[in-house]
């Protein structure tokens, strides 16, 4: 069995496009949560900077994440994101480090 993969994706809206960016990013949540291998997929907007968004995602495997990247809704998003985002989201991949037995 593959190890869970966490992705943190940062996106920044163009000035004055925060509401439009929020709308197109929120449109990704429901279809992504239905994808095989999606454990969770949550969008956050900064409480201090409304132009800053973060997706916190957990996937059952790198293969599930790769399938997500090829999904119709992500393909569509790539075609429209330049309208409201300064640049495409910046993704980083993470693995959970579990505490050794007897600690934590």
In a domain, 101, yes or no: no
By residue count, the chain amounts to 104
Is residue 73 in a domain? yes
44 within domain boundaries:
yes
Residue 77 in any domain: the answer is yes
- At 1 the pLDDT is 46
* Mean pLDDT over each residue of the chain, to the nearest integer: 94
Find where tokens 């907007």 sit.
45
Question: Which CATH number does the domain housing residue 66 bear?
Answer: 3.30.70.100
DSSP string, 7-65: EEEEEEBPTT-HHHHHHHHHTTHHHHHTSTTEEEEEEEE-SS-TTEEEEEEEES-HHHH
How many distinct structural domains can be found in the chain? 1
Per-residue pLDDT tens over the stretch 66-86: 999 999 999 999 999 999 999
| 102 within domain boundaries | no
Domain that holds residue 71: 5-94
pLDDT for position 104: 58
């Amino acid at each position: 069995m593959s190890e869970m993969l966490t992705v943190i994706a940062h996106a920044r809206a163009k000035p004055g496009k925060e509401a439009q960016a929020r709308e197109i990013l929120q449109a990704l949540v429901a279809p992504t949560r239905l994808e095989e291998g999606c454990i969770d997929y949550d969008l956050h907007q900064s409480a201090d900077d409304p132009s800053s968004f973060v997706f916190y995602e957990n996937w059952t495997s790198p293969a599930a994440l790769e399938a997500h990247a090829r999904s119709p809704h992500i393909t569509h998003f790539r075609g429209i994101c330049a309208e409201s985002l300064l640049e495409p989201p910046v993704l980083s991949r993470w693995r959970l480090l579990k505490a050794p037995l007897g600690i934590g």
